[in-house]
């Protein structure tokens, strides 16, 4: 990384076109490498401090020093896990903001209630991270919960952390909506795409758009929007539909909806390219729906299990309150191992 940084610095010194896409790319790469080097240096410095505490304990065998050593180790482990997650974010869009969509699946009212629980979980997680969270669209359920919702989570690395949440989330519990108190299984689908940066060109022709206005959804009473500020945009060639009702004015809702549409169109083109590459090498993608990534069991015992990494947590209430960093880290580690195995397999061939 230090060699890469030196190479980039040399390229920047010899480049006089500071507004060129190449220079912007180099500046972005320099910032990413500098951050990663800073993480390594910080961890190395903290680890040397621990070694000094250990050397001191070996000399004096003091219980007080041993207690301080354990405290330093505990703190270091916490810092190490957080920084390790950052280091695992090295893919193309990992630094981007995220657009997260939640859709209630099979399970009726229970599934819609489950969707609202997941919505709260992700909002809580994002707020703890210091991200700016906007619920740009939602459709309430008839009795409880929500049918679907779209979150715009703005901040560096939001997509990188959340990309592993894509898939089906299953809930097993005693249904609060069943008079017989029977155990019920509900499914909710979560999709996550990166918010595409402004400097990436995606041409959207006005004649390809169908723009509709409507009143924002609400639960009635004084909160019902009396004017048509909500906006729904349909991209006619692809059929992609985006709605936004979070902003105060119709104009701002339209701008936010276009931003999300741009990201979805870019993601669609990228998927087409990926599928074309996969068809050439004979790989098949798994169908996401029906392939649950995680199960949240609330009865007869409490546990949350990720089926890709086999990581489990018995702190179910904390997880549903937004404490999902351990699941995110385990996914990133698992993904990194999968990538390494694929590379090694390719080298052997």
Tell me: the pLDDT tens digits for 253-288? 888 888 888 888 888 887 776 665 455 444 443 433
Whether the predicted pLDDT of 226 surpasses 60:
no
Cα angle for residues 305, 306, 309 (degrees, 5° grid): 125
Helix (H, G, I), strand (E, B) or coil at 177: coil
Q: Where are the beta strands (DSSP E) in the chain?
A: 98-104, 132-140, 146-154, 167-174, 183-194, 209-214, 230-235, 240-244, 292-297, 303-306, 312-313
The top-scoring range by mean pLDDT among 270-279, 291-300, 307-316 is: 307-316
CA-CA distance, 317 to 303, in Å (whole number)? 10
pLDDT at 228: 74
Pairing between β-strand 183-194 and β-strand 98-104 as defined by DSSP bridges: antiparallel
pLDDT at 348: 66
**DSSP H/E element including 18:** none
The pTM score is 0.76
């Amino acid at each position: 990384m230090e060699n890469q940084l030196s190479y980039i610095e040399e390229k920047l010194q010899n480049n006089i076109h500071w507004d060129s896409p190449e220079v912007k790319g180099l500046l972005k790469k320099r910032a990413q490498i500098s951050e990663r080097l800073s993480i390594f240096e910080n961890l190395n410095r903290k680890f040397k401090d621990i070694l000094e505490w250990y050397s001191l304990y070996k000399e004096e065998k003091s219980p007080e020093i041993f207690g301080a050593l354990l405290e330093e180790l505990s703190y270091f482990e916490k810092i190490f896990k957080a920084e390790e997650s950052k280091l695992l974010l090295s893919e193309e869009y990992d630094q981007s903001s995220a657009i997260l969509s939640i859709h209630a699946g099979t399970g009726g009212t229970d599934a819609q209630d489950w969707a609202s629980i997941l919505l709260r979980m992700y909002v809580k997680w994002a707020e703890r991270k210091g991200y700016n969270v906007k619920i740009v669209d939602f459709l309430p359920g008839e009795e409880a919960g929500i049918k679907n919702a779209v979150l715009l989570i703005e901040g560096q690395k939001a997509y990188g952390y959340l990309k592993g949440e894509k898939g089906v989330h299953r809930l097993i519990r005693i249904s609060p909506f069943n008079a017989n108190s029977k155990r019920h299984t509900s499914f909710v689908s979560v999709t996550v795409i990166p918010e595409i940066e402004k400097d990436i060109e995606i041409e959207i022709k006005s004649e390809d758009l169908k723009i509709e206005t409507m009143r924002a959804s609400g639960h009635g009473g004084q909160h019902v929007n009396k004017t048509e500020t909500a906006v729904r945009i349909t991209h006619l060639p692809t059929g992609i539909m985006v709605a936004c009702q979070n902003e105060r004015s119709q104009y701002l809702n339209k701008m936010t909806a276009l931003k999300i549409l741009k990201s979805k169109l870019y993601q669609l083109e990228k998927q087409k390219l990926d599928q074309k590459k996969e068809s050439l090498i004979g790989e098949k993608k798994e169908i996401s729906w029906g392939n649950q990534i995680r199960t949240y069991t609330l009865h007869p015992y409490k546990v949350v299990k990720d089926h890709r990494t086999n990581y489990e947590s018995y702190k179910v209430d904390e997880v549903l309150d937004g404490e999902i960093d351990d699941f995110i880290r385990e996914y990133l580690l698992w993904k990194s191992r999968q990538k390494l195995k694929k590379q090694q397999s390719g080298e052997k061939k």
